[in-house]
Amino acid sequence: MKTITTDSTNSQRSAASQQAFRLACGCARVADEYRGTETVVLNLTAVTRIADYFVITTATSRRQMHAIADEINRMMKQAESQRIGTEGYDGDTWVLQDYGDIVVHVFNPETRSLYDLEHLWADAEKVDWQSVPDDDGE
């Protein structure tokens, strides 16, 4: 069966895609503001259907991981993007937050090195999130 998409469907998809892009960059900014290091946004749209973007950052303590994860969740709630799931929050090595089109990974240095998601998803484009203006126009 052939699926036909209309212009309005394409424009809605485009608007949703732009929103996901802006939110992924916003998550990276939050991680940076909370002193996450080596923060990366990977655009997975051409690689997989799992998610559109991975946001990856490193924290040096459990407390910092929680602060980053909690603030990202607050920002995403404010943007009306509900978290679908979370993993690792009770541990001290990694926190994953799944928002459907965006998956946020907050690692300690050893665990980030172990999982090496940038290498695993090497075909994904890295987003220059620092050059993207935030919603406040900064």
Mean pLDDT, residues 20-46 taken together = 97
Domain ranges of the chain: 9-130
Mean pLDDT, residues 1-30 taken together = 71
Distance set, CA 21 to CA 62, 80, 87, 133, 134 (Å): 27, 15, 23, 11, 11
- Name residue, tokens 């406040």: 136
Write down the pTM of the prediction: 0.87
Give the contacts of 123 (CB within 8 A, at least 6 positions apart): 46, 47
User: Residue 136: what pLDDT?
Assistant: 59
Mean pLDDT, residues 25-32 taken together = 98
Which CATH superfamily is 9-130 part of?
Beta Polymerase, domain 2 (3.30.460.10)
User: Residue 12: what pLDDT?
Assistant: 47
- Name residue, tokens 């892009």: 21
113 CB-contact burial (10 Å; exposed 0-12 / middle 13-18 / buried 19+):
exposed
Would you call 29 helix, strand, or coil by DSSP? helix
Tokens of 91: 């541990």
Mean pLDDT, residues 89-105 taken together = 97
Question: How does the average pLDDT of the chain come out, rounded?
Answer: 90
| Between 103 and 133, the higher pLDDT residue | 103
